[in-house]
Structure formats: structure tokens, C-alpha cells
Amino acid sequence: MLLEKRKLGRTNLAVTAIAFGGLPMQRCTIEEAAPVLEAALDAGINFIDTARAYTDSEEKIGRHLSSRRKEYYLGTKSMARDKAQMAKDIDLSLKTMKTDYIDLYQVHNIKNREDLERVMAPGGALEALEQAIAAGKIGFAGVTGHSIEMLIEAVKTEKFSTVQVPFNFIETQAREVLFPLAKRLNVGTIIMKPLGGGQFNNPDVALRFILEHDISTVIPGMDECGYCLPCPAGLDIPTLFIIHLQYTRYNMKTASPLRYQAMPVKASACMACGQCEKRCPYDLPIRERLEQIAADMG
């Protein structure tokens, strides 16, 4: 399936307009994380973003996706403000995610002027990022945060190739100055919190609102997705997909059928109304897949 791709500012990476936010991966077990990550790549998503601070999110990505490393661009971030700690974190991220190259390494959550000054000062985190770029360990340096004012300051330094910022129906401040500035300086814009931290119950509309803006990519947090719900027949579509993936790809020939049998509504109950497909931001052929699940699992 083809997802729209957009240029991530001066990085020139062509990333899918909808990408993968790794924060909620913390809530999955290691086993549950595998089909969620695999399904994202199978759906055509080609940018995965995470952080050192998201507990074991980096580890899950390394464990489950290192064998498919050529299929996606990888972004992560560190709260380090000084050079020594940032250098250590870059090496740790490389090791944890079982890769020798990270496309985008971001300074995580610049909160105030002091934060930014520490990063930019001699001996600050930026020096480690620049050295890692020169050494071929990372591709580009980015910055993230919630303070629009400080992100504007950071983008103005022209030291960062991307800026990651919250933007959604209710948090629209970024479009006043930050988006036009980023556009002018060719800095890629990565949108976090697109669903307002789970407040919006229509993800399709929320994502379409964001994608109408001149931004590079949006990273909804993905654990069990669920954009396609509710189903009038009561199917828990994401869980059925996960069970089926575990069955077919991970050869869980005993545990998956048991889990499937415990589901109150089986795939065969699908009435093929198509409502879920209208809501799915990835245009998945859900009805077709449910038919396959019903055929494979009864």
C-alpha cells in the first residue's frame, strides 16, 4: 500500500506523512510489540520515532525491527544537554536499537532558554550531535519541545534539521510563526500529540486536519491503534489483527488460537459494512483481512 510521502525539510528524507510514534510502545509487553511494529512497516510507514526516555521502546524496536532496518528511517532523542552525556546516549541508542546508523537524533524537550543555551554552548549536546554526524553514526540533528517560543529560538539557530512540536485541533499555536519559519529555513516539521493525548475520538478527522497543513509528518502514538473502531458488529479489529499476525508470522500455533477462541466476537461476525475502512488512516483492506482471519482461525 502506498502512503503519501513528504520531504523532511533539509534532510531530504522522503518520509510517510503518517509515521510511527514510539511512546506508547512502553505499555506493550515485548511480545505484543512485535506485531504492532511489523504491522506499521507492512502498512507502508517508513519513519519510526522514539526516545531514550520512553523506557524500553528503543529496545523493542531493536529487538523486532533490526532485521528490517533498510525499510525505515529511524529517529530518537535524548534529554542530554551536555556533550559527554549526549555522546553516551547516541552510542547507547545505536546499541539498544541494534543498528549502526540513526537517521535523526533529536535534543528532547527544550523547555526554556537555559536548556537551549546549555545545548548550544561549548561542551554542549550539539557538539556531540555534530561529531556523530561527522562520524557517520547519525544523519541529522533535530530538536523537540512543547514551548513554541523556545522552538522558534532553536530553529532560528539553523543548527537543527527538524523540529518536533505538538499540533492538533486545540493546540494550534505552532502554525502562527513556527511553521512558516521552519518552512523558510527548510527545517522538517514533525507533529506529535495529533490526537491531543487521546482526547479526540475521531482520529481520521484529527489526522486529516493536521495533514492539510504544510508540515512534514505526523507521529501518532501507536500501541494497538484502534482508529478503525467502533465496529457496529462489536469486533475488536486491532486485537484480531495482532492475534492473526502472531499466528501466521510468529508461528504461535497454540497460544494464538486459544486467544482467538476467547475473543467475544470473531472475525466471521463482520457484516462488511466498510465503516472501519473509512476511518483507517492507512487504507488497510480490513474486510478482506478479516475474511482471511476467519478462514485461518475459524
Encoded one letter per residue, x for contact with ligand SF4 by CB under 6 A and - for no contact, window 67-106 reads ----------------------------------------
CB-nearer residue toward ligand SF4: 110 or 231? 231
Question: Beta-carbon neighbour count of residue 271 at 10 Å?
Answer: 11
CB-nearer residue toward ligand SF4: 183 or 266? 266
Residue 184 burial by Cβ neighbours in a 10 Å radius (0-12, 13-18, 19+): exposed
Q: Which residue blocks in 140-274 are alpha helix, DSSP H?
A: 148-156, 178-184, 203-211, 237-248, 255-261
Window 233 to 252, contacts with ligand SF4 (CB under 6 A): 233, 235, 237
CA distance 53 to 230: 32
CA neighbor of 96 nearest in space, from 119, 71, 78, 123: 78
Compute the least distance from the CB of residue 229 to ligand SF4, in Å: 8
Instruction: Decide if residue 116 touches ligand SF4 (CB under 6 A).
Output: no
The 3 state secondary structure assigned to 207-237 is: HHHHHCCCCCEECCECCCCCCCCCCCCCCCH
Compute the least distance from the CB of residue 288 to ligand SF4, in Å: 10
Report in angstroms the alpha-carbon separations of 193 from 16, 20, 166, 167, 260.
17, 12, 5, 6, 32
Compute the least distance from the CB of residue 286 to ligand SF4, in Å: 5
Encoded one letter per residue, x for contact with ligand SF4 by CB under 6 A and - for no contact, window 179-218 reads ----------------------------------------
Compute the least distance from the CB of residue 279 to ligand SF4, in Å: 8
> Which residues partner with 143 through β-bridges?
107, 163
CA distance 257 to 31: 16
> Which residues partner with 5 through β-bridges?
16
CB-nearer residue toward ligand SF4: 48 or 231? 231
Window 249 to 288, contacts with ligand SF4 (CB under 6 A): 270-276, 286-287
CB-nearer residue toward ligand SF4: 196 or 285? 285
CA neighbor of 59 nearest in space, from 84, 34, 87: 34
Kindly determine how many residues on this chain lie close enough to bind ligand SF4 according to the rule CB under 6 A.
15
* Range in contact with ligand SF4 (rule: CB under 6 A) among 5-13, 18-26, 136-144, 226-234: 226-234
- Given the rule CB under 6 A, which residues bind ligand SF4? 231-233, 235, 237, 270-276, 286-287, 290
